[in-house]
């Protein structure tokens, strides 16, 4: 099942994409309370009973599939090839940092280069949306049971802010528009193996990233289990699970983003994103 939110920023309406490709309107909001109260099961049952009205989709903006997550937890250097291209050793434990929830935008919204930035970069990532509270999870089976579904994230990063300005990575990760999310949330039952998904990213039509989640150092189940021992993961929280090689930071000439460029991203079974780059 594919859940999404459509409409102008701040006025998005929740919907589900049915088997015929129609948008069906659902009540409420797709947020932490929705997941915590069994919203996925309710929508599935209503869809099966053909109770949801069809929405007119023409011209509608697609927003982020989750309404303002409580937190966005990110895993750094989680692909060996990406760690290698940045000159870092593969980590012995997950590298954890946070992105501000205000970074979240729709999958086709404009990404803004921050004022003073010269090193804005791209990162296609598998994003995990938590469906049940995860606290001190012990097994991988239990960890995956806490997942509501998966979507695409572009973990946009400003490398000078992140690596050269002191402090932690967060300041290079939390600029406005730095987390396009979507186009929809694919429920976990439709992703039988999150460790067998291809990820790809292009800039102005040129392919830069082409990897697979099978090459994660720490898989989805381990990431959820691990994080639950350091923080309570709550329904509606988002986890960005890392990016494969091919970011500007690791490429010859470091071709960082410039205003007017276009990024396109896709993950197998999860859809595509497309963002034009602007200037803040």
Q: Widest CA span of the chain, in angstroms?
A: 56
Q: Are residues 92 and 172 in the same domain?
A: yes
* CA atoms in the 13 A half-sphere facing the CB of 38: 4
Please say whether the dihedral angle defined by the alpha carbons of residues 277, 156, 194 and 151, taken in this order, is positive or negative.
negative
* Residue 88: inside a domain: yes
Q: Are residues 41 and 85 in the same domain?
A: no
Q: Are residues 86 and 32 in the same domain?
A: no
Q: Mean pLDDT, 10 residues at a time, over the chain (280 residues)?
A: 97 95 94 97 95 92 96 95 83 96 97 97 98 98 98 98 90 97 98 98 98 97 98 98 96 97 98 98
* Residue 57: inside a domain: no
Total domains, the chain: 2
Q: Are residues 118 and 43 in the same domain?
A: no
Q: Are residues 251 and 142 in the same domain?
A: yes
- Cα distance between residue 196 and residue 203, in whole Å: 24
Q: Are residues 152 and 259 in the same domain?
A: yes
Q: Are residues 11 and 128 in the same domain?
A: no
Q: Are residues 18 and 131 in the same domain?
A: no
The pLDDT score that the predictor gives to residue 81 is 84
* 234 three-state secondary structure: coil
The pLDDT score that the predictor gives to residue 86 is 80
The pLDDT score that the predictor gives to residue 57 is 83
The pLDDT score that the predictor gives to residue 139 is 98
Q: Are residues 35 and 87 in the same domain?
A: no
- Cα distance between residue 142 and residue 149, in whole Å: 15
Asked if 172 contacts 179 with a C-beta cutoff of 8 angstroms, the reply is no
Q: Residue 202 contacts by C-beta under 8 Å, 6 or more apart in sequence? A: 208, 263, 264, 265
Residues 267-276 as b or e (16 or more Cβ within 10 Å = b): beebbebebe
Q: Are residues 217 and 78 in the same domain?
A: yes
Residue range(s) defining the domain that contains residue 236: 72-279
Q: Are residues 82 and 30 in the same domain?
A: no
The pLDDT score that the predictor gives to residue 234 is 98
* Residue 61: inside a domain: no
* Residue 127: inside a domain: yes
Query: If 0-12 CB within 10 Å is exposed, 13-18 middle and 19+ buried, where does residue 61 land?
Result: middle
Q: Are residues 33 and 165 in the same domain?
A: no
The pLDDT score that the predictor gives to residue 58 is 87
* 101 three-state secondary structure: helix
* Residue 81: inside a domain: yes
Which DSSP category does 259 fall into? Answer: T
The pLDDT score that the predictor gives to residue 89 is 85
* Residue 137: inside a domain: yes
Query: Can you give the CATH number for the domain in which 269 is found?
Result: 3.90.850.10
* Residue 66: inside a domain: no
Q: What are phi and psi of 162, to 5 degrees?
A: -70, -45
pTM of the model: 0.96
* Residue 111: inside a domain: yes
The pLDDT score that the predictor gives to residue 120 is 98
Cα dist. 201→51, 55, 150, 157, 161 in Å? 38, 31, 17, 15, 23
């Amino acid at each position: 099942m594919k859940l999404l939110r459509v409409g102008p920023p701040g006025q998005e309406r929740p919907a589900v994409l049915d088997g015929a490709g129609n948008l069906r309107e659902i009540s409420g909001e797709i947020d932490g309370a929705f997941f915590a109260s069994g919203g996925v099961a309710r929508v599935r049952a209503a869809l099966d009973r053909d109770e949801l009205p069809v929405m007119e989709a023409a011209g509608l903006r697609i927003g982020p599939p989750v309404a303002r997550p409580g937190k966005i937890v990110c895993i750094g250097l989680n692909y060996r090839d990406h760690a290698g291209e940045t000159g870092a050793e593969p980590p012995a434990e997950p590298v954890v940092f946070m992105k501000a929830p205000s970074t979240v935008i729709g999958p086709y919204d404009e990404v803004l280069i921050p004022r003073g930035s010269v090193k804005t970069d791209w990162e296609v990532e598998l994003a995990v949306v938590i469906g049940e509270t995860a606290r001190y999870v012990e097994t991988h089976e239990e960890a995956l049971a806490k997942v509501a579904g998966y979507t695409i994230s572009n973990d946009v990063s400003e490398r000078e802010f992140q690596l050269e300005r002191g402090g932690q990575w967060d300041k290079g990760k939390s600029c406005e528009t730095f987390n396009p999310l979507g186009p929809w949330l694919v429920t976990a039952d439709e992703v039988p193996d999150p460790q067998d998904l291809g990820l790809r990213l292009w800039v102005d039509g040129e392919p830069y990233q082409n990897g697979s989640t099978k090459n994660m150092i720490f898989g989805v189940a381990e990431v959820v289990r691990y994080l639950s021992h350091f923080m309570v993961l709550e329904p509606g929280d988002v986890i960005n699970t890392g990016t494969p090689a091919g970011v500007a930071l690791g490429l010859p000439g470091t071709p960082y983003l410039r205003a007017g460029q276009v990024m396109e991203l896709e993950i197998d079974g999860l859809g595509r994103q497309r963002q034009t780059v602007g200037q803040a």
